[in-house]
Amino acid sequence: MRTVYKNATVIDSVNPEPLPQGVVVVEDGKIARVCGGDAFTPETQDEVVDLNGSYLMPGLWDVHVHPDYLSLSTNPLPEQTALFGHRLRAALFDSGIMGFRCAGSHNYMDVAWRNAFDSGQYVGPHLFASGHFLTTTGGHFLTSGHALECDGPYGFVKAIREQIKNGVDHIKLNLSGGIIGPKWDLHTQSFYLDEELQAAFEICRARGFKVMAHATHPGVVKAAIRLGAHSIEHGYIMDDECIELLLEHDTWLVPTLAISQLTPKQATNDWESSFALGRGWSHALCCRAEVAAPLHSEWFGKALKAGVKMALGSDIRPLKDAALLEMGLWTRNGASTWQTLQAATRHGAAICGVGDKLGTIEVGKIADMIVVKDNPLKDIHNVRKLELVIKDGKIVSDKRPGKRKAEVRPSSP
């Protein structure tokens, strides 16, 4: 049986102009037809869903996430693993986030949930796993519990082989410090020796694994691009040569604006204020973020203007709010709503290697879509006005007034 979504304003993430009074036909979980309403007549056996002019668009993606940072002494690993799965499913059902790329996790819990979702054991988002992130002894964000400390060229080679053996999709390397951390963990500093850096990239290249490179200042950004990084994460400080190399090597940039631009002083609306106050950062960390913010914003704008490939990643929690906050920061920092929507849909799928299957509303693609009440091209915050979440062509969450919330059951193993 086909499902016909009619009377939709279709934002397909391909054409910047929405299709009014559009029809999207779904068959066997895939998009079979996209057209104007006057060009299509449903058949008797079709299931027809009237969207009453609401905006039908691809589901959202967040391509830089972590599970919650919790102590194993107070939250044992099984509890943390279960909580991560709950957060991922809540992000799908409550916010329409269809895809995540993990940037570091405890003990391969992202691999476990990816396998559970992919097997159909649970309905959940597409998840791309990194396992641990790799850094040096005395490297970045050791208190997170997601770090694996390595030293020397063979130390990194052995760790990367272990990651591959445990089923990761990509390798996350933390090449420099960050905004969050102790005084010796600074985003202006590099952590790897040249021989460590070269060995890590060489084994990834030999085994065919993409590198997700945490790189926060020009030296490591340029080194990572030249060695073949698939994506640069953060890029808090860059220079003109960084931009040139990103373009020359066709390297992705995931700017994670939320790390530097969401302190209580920087909040510009109630959502940002609530998040910033709940984050609980110390005064010192807020100061570090606020000092870093102007340069981060400047180089984000320059990369955007130059046409660097960029995808939306938040690096914050809770997962159901993170991408929505990051989208607001994109537009606040000069991106158009169209650029922001593409970064959170089409580009999110593309950076994960599934752009041929997901991320846009086109014939032949998997029907992962959301419906929002008002136009997100007019105001990006309208993505919060969620009405429907449609996964594999089926409604898995219905938030329309007067409608009973869709109940989603695990499929049979």
> CA 310 to CA 343: how far, in whole Å?
6
Tell the CATH superfamily of the 60-352 domain.
Answer: Metal-dependent hydrolases (3.20.20.140)
Q: Where are the domains of the chain?
A: 2-58+359-398, 60-352
pTM of the model: 0.96
Helix, strand or coil, per DSSP, at residue 108: helix
Is there a shared CATH topology between the 2-58+359-398 domain and the 60-352 domain? no
Look at the domain 2-58+359-398 and name its fold: Urease, subunit C; domain 1 (2.30.40)
Give pLDDT, residue 39. 87
Q: Which residues of the chain fall short of a pLDDT of 70?
A: 404-413
Closest CA to 213 of 300, 120, 313: 313
pLDDT for residue 405: 53
Q: Contact at 8 Å (CB) between 313 and 64?
A: yes
Residue range 223-252, pLDDT digits in tens: 999 999 999 999 999 999 999 999 999 999
Cβ atoms within 10 Å of 38's Cβ, excluding its own: 8
Half-sphere exposure of 350 (CA within 13 A, CB side): 19
Helices within 307-353 (DSSP H only): 319-332, 337-344, 346-351
Dihedral sign from CA coordinates of 97, 102, 103, 108: positive
Give me the half-sphere count of Cα atoms (radius 13 Å) on the Cβ side of residue 187: 25
What residues contact residue 275 under an 8 Å CB cut-off, 6+ apart? 262, 267, 316, 321, 325
The pLDDT score that the predictor gives to residue 408 is 53
> Quick one: how many helices (H) and strands (E) in the chain?
12, 17
